[in-house]
Structure 1
Amino acid sequence: MLVVLGVLLVLVSAAALAGSRALLNRYTAAIGQENLLGDAADPHVSIDGPINLLLVGIDQRIDQRDDSPDVDHNADSIMIVHIPASHDAAYLVSVPRDSYVSIPPYPRSGFGGGHAKVNAAFPDGFGNGAGRAGGFGLLALTIKQLTGISFNGGAIVDFAGFKSLVAALGGVDMCVDERTVSVHIGHDAHGRYQMPYDMTDDGPVPVPGVTPQVYQPGCQHLADWQALDYVRQRELLPDGDYGRQRHQQQFIKAVLKQATGSGVLTSPGKLDQVLRAAGQALTFDSGGISIADWIFALRDIRSGALTMLKTNGGTFNSEVINGQDTEILSDTSLQLFSAVREDTMPAFVAAHPDWVAGDSV
């Protein structure tokens, strides 16, 4: 969503560009729209003041056993984007997927409520025909109950669709900040693809004779499949899901920077591919406000104005509950969410500079 808005913002702010309104209408029409937030939506339908967006990444990979889609649609990435009332900056805050929370009852899917990891809210809301909108709605309600934050808009981003976006860009430039071993992609002695690890309850177990894909530290150009594989990894990282959150935030910023660069904007063919791929990668709940109004409201935000925050300071705050390793949000994390809710993020960042994640580019 940030990529679509970012590219269109650059286009419509170029005074010399003829027909910007026609281009705007063409590409915004390609964005899927759906009511996702339900009762978690901000009751005051406006984007004139502070804005909070909920972004949920789902990984609809094909089950290799029978080629059937993964019907659980787990929420692998959960991010809150806060835009202050000045509309000149954006803050990305990841919600740890293992956060132990209370999930409210949800009659739409027949879910009776309970306590679990926060990413369980999506499949809990998905059932009984409620679908992705139901999953998103229950997840949004759960996060609202946890943080007190209401949302002006939200989006579901399909990782497979995002891969198509990166392919349209011709790959993405990133600086890998730590050695990262893939548990998903490897090859055997004959160079044939094979899963390098068996995933067990005790963690990944190496498959004999299979060499995993490894991403070494340093700035480099990643192909679409490499970029998506890199930001999926968490099992073998020292800081687990916090490392993955950091890499995904860096990835979003890198893609936004590349998509708004001259190599895309000055090439009509590539621009068309990028915008169409981006539009197809997401489903957007605009809160009933036109996408054109969203674009013009956020016209002053660029990739350099994105600040990425590390929930729990990027370190584990684990507790075993009902035999599962879960994450407990620290008091400072709750202060972070309070700063989002009260639009006081600059003060929080000034008080906690070590909670700001570094860039990848």
Structure 2
Amino acid sequence: MDLPLNSTTCMVCGMRLVKNGKTAAGSQRWRCLSCGASQARRRPDVTARQQLRQFVCWVTGKQTQAEIDGTTSGRTFRRQAAWCWDIEPRLEPATGIHHAVLVDGIWISGWCLLIALSDTGRVLAWQWSGGESVAAWKALLEQVEAPAVLVSDGGTGIPTALSACWPETKHQRCLFHLQMRVSRHLTMNPRTNAGRALRALVMKLSELRDEDAAIAWQIRLDEWWRAFGHPTKERTLLRNGQFGFTHDRLRKAWHLVRGVVRNNTLFTYVTYGNPRTTSPLEGGINSQIRAVLRRHRGMSETHQKRAVEWFLTLHEQPLNEALHRALPTQAPDTQPNAAEIDAPDEPTLYDTALSAEEGLWSRTG
């Protein structure tokens, strides 16, 4: 007859054990009804899982270390959970094809974290890198199936990586980032009529919803160029004796808008119905990452990266599933190998080492 899972057998007589209270440490005590032997069964795997659970709840939550372990300093928690920093969470591979994928980068302690988010709010993948380079974007995009549209802030390296990994995917430039970059060049209150007209035209992008409004906006942009295009070409003699553009900021803002229109990355949402901005990623994920790091400020660079990885993992997986995927599936082998079993405990009779009994040893002095 099989024994229940919550029971065990006696190590002395092999009979069934029954529960017999708790130990001082709170562990279950077992007693044999046959021989009277008492023992406490230890489960290192259960202990490790519970420690990792407390660690993840702390690193992604709002509780302090002292509140987790019920002490005044949290030293017990730090000692017991020190090994948890080495456990790397694993996100389930992204499967299926999504209509739109939003990508963006956030800087954390000198590291750039690239994140891919679906239009339904699911974290698909992330990639640590030294910057928004072509290689970094390729490493991120290769983890996800090619969608219909990619929404980005127009950072460096994205167009090249997109054409290499997802050649059939359309590109949507984030309207909010475009408006902010134009305002950075022209300031919030431009001094010239050309600057005020161009900024007002760019800020109107948020109101466009259909194809007719997009065509009318492009006509107004052409009218702006016919009316104010000449200041972008004017040059003046600078103090260093060289000629430069008189309205350099206006020229940069104009070239930025013209480049987005020519690349057909401005009104992709009108045709395909994809998100127009990366705000779901900026406000839904990046802002929460900053909140996690702010609550646990003072962590080292490695610990900050691990905390962010656990946050992204729990965003998509329940806690129990995340712990199951992170912990090793096989327990370490504690059985000695054959060489250790056959090795005698007595000194070696025949070997290549020096022997003091035979007068062979290294000279000293």
Higher relative contact order (CA 8 A, sep 6+): 1
Could you say which structure has the larger radius of gyration?
A: 2
TM-score range for the pair, normalised by the shorter chain length:
under 0.3
Under a length normalisation based on structure 1, what TM-score does the superposition of the two structures give? 0.27
Under a length normalisation based on structure 2, what TM-score does the superposition of the two structures give? 0.27
Name whichever structure is richer in helix by fraction.
Answer: 2
